[in-house]
């Protein structure tokens, strides 16, 4: 499938996208990503799309979405309309999830974060190490996969809170060829071996949102015909999961370009939660949008 995909891509107009979440104001890291996407799209006569990743309905707000438009306009960028907003497309992600369920590679998981933590603490009390994913989060235990069908349907019909997860082993078992992606983030065109198993059974649909980051990104990149995914190095390892979902769902594989991150004085990547200065604050301090490229070394 991968070869077909590449030849298909070579005849297409390049499509790039910047895909922020409106759960805080944009900072310099976002500005770097948006500008690189915008400039690369221009350089290869491609399209530049903006996608609002707002599946987390509790944290994303219309006001912050407006802030994204203001900040990007301040940076001097322009993007195609209409903007795709993920919260308008939960039916698309549900359809993807249903296909994975029908293929037998998705299962409902009932353990809360606290349950998982307690399970792992217990496991590690004996000196054994429990696996963590590339972001440091605990792998999900296999307990829910050992339930009988009867037990699972009883739990589902009782209305017990659950997420849907990918059964990583079963998903990997369906692959017919090695899982790889094309990466241009290090200057040359490389083929990277994907390692989705490093993530364990990732979430496909959250208990508090009818999708997950991984599933909606993969479905949207396909729906929007994205040919080049350009994003920060913090999402490099997530690409392994995205490639697996693309293969399972029969979706095309874009090329990937993971760019450098902007770090703060303490060497951490900028983040909304650590209170990194937002573009809005820089603007209030008197900077012009056109100063930002210089500040970022572009
Ligand atoms: N919404 C993600 C973020 O804000 C980016 C997703 C992506 O580029 O694939 O970090």
pLDDT over threshold 90, residue 20: yes
Average pLDDT of the segment spanning 192-196: 98
Average pLDDT of the segment spanning 31-52: 97
- Find where tokens 């339930």 sit: 147
Distance 20 CA to ligand 1 centre (A): 5
Average pLDDT of the segment spanning 62-90: 98
Over the chain, what is the mean pLDDT? 94
Percent of the residues in the chain that have a pLDDT greater than 70, as a whole number: 96
Q: How far is CA 203 from each of CA 68, 109, 154, 240, 257, rounded to the nearest angstrom?
A: 27, 9, 21, 14, 24
Residue among 30, 64, 217, 242 whose CB has most ligand 1 atoms within 8 A, to mutate: 217
CB within 8 A of 209, min separation 6: which ones?
Answer: 55, 56, 57
pLDDT over threshold 70, residue 270: yes
Question: What is residue 96's predicted lDDT score, i.e. its pLDDT?
Answer: 98
Categorize the per-residue pLDDT at 2 as very low, low, confident or very high, splitting at 50, 70 and 90. Answer: very low
Q: Token digits for 222? A: 């396909």
CA distance 130 to 37: 38
Question: What is residue 6's predicted lDDT score, i.e. its pLDDT?
Answer: 36
Residue nearest to atom 2 of ligand 1 (CA): 20
Question: What is residue 10's predicted lDDT score, i.e. its pLDDT?
Answer: 56
Question: What is residue 268's predicted lDDT score, i.e. its pLDDT?
Answer: 85
Q: What is the pTM of this model?
A: 0.93
Distance 232 CA to ligand 1 centre (A): 8
Closest alpha carbon to 229 in 185, 193, 198:
185
- Name the DSSP class of 236: T
Closest alpha carbon to 298 in 111, 14, 76:
76
Distance 234 CA to ligand 1 centre (A): 9
pLDDT over threshold 70, residue 197: yes
pLDDT over threshold 90, residue 272: no
Percent of the residues in the chain that have a pLDDT greater than 90, as a whole number: 90
Distance 134 CA to ligand 1 centre (A): 16
pLDDT over threshold 70, residue 245: yes
Range in 157-171, 253-267, 268-282 with the lowest mean pLDDT = 268-282
pLDDT over threshold 50, residue 8: no
Helix, strand or coil, per DSSP, at residue 205: strand
Question: What is residue 56's predicted lDDT score, i.e. its pLDDT?
Answer: 96
Question: What is residue 5's predicted lDDT score, i.e. its pLDDT?
Answer: 34
Question: What is residue 110's predicted lDDT score, i.e. its pLDDT?
Answer: 98
Average pLDDT of the segment spanning 136-141: 98
Categorize the per-residue pLDDT at 11 as very low, low, confident or very high, splitting at 50, 70 and 90. Answer: low
Question: What is residue 277's predicted lDDT score, i.e. its pLDDT?
Answer: 86
Instruction: Give the start-end residues of each E strand in 224-266.
Output: 228-232, 255-259
Average pLDDT of the segment spanning 136-143: 98
């Amino acid at each position: 499938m991968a070869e077909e995909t590449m030849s298909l891509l070579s005849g297409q107009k390049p499509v790039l996208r910047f895909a922020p979440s409106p759960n805080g104001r944009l900072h310099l890291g976002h500005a770097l990503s948006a500008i690189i996407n915008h400039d690369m799209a221009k350089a290869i006569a491609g399209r530049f799309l903006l996608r609002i990743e707002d599946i987390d309905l509790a944290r994303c707000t219309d006001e912050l979405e407006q802030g994204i438009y203001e900040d990007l306009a301040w940076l001097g960028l322009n993007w195609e309309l209409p903007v795709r907003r993920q919260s308008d497309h939960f039916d698309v992600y549900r359809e993807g999830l249903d296909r994975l369920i029908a293929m037998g590679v998705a299962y409902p998981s009932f353990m809360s974060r606290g349950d998982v933590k307690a399970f792992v603490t217990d496991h590690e009390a004996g000196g054994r190490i429990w696996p963590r994913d590339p972001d440091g989060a605990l792998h999900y235990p296999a307990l829910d996969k050992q339930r009988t069908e009867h037990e699972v349907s009883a739990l589902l019909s009782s209305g017990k809170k659950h997420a849907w997860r990918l059964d990583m082993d079963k998903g990997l078992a369906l692959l017919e060829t090695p899982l790889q992606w094309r990466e241009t983030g290090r200057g040359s065109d490389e083929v990277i071996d994907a390692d989705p198993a490093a993530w364990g059974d990732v979430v496909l649909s959250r208990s508090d949102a009818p999708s997950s980051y991984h599933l909606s990104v993969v479905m949207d990149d396909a729906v929007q015909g994205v040919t080049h995914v350009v994003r920060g190095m913090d999402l490099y390892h997530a690409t392994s999961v995205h490639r697996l979902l693309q293969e399972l769902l029969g979706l095309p594989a874009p090329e990937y370009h993971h760019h450098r991150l902007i770090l703060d004085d303490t060497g951490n990547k900028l983040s909304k939660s650590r209170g990194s200065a937002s573009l809005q604050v820089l603007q209030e301090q008197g900077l012009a949008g056109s100063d930002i490229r210089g500040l970022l070394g572009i």
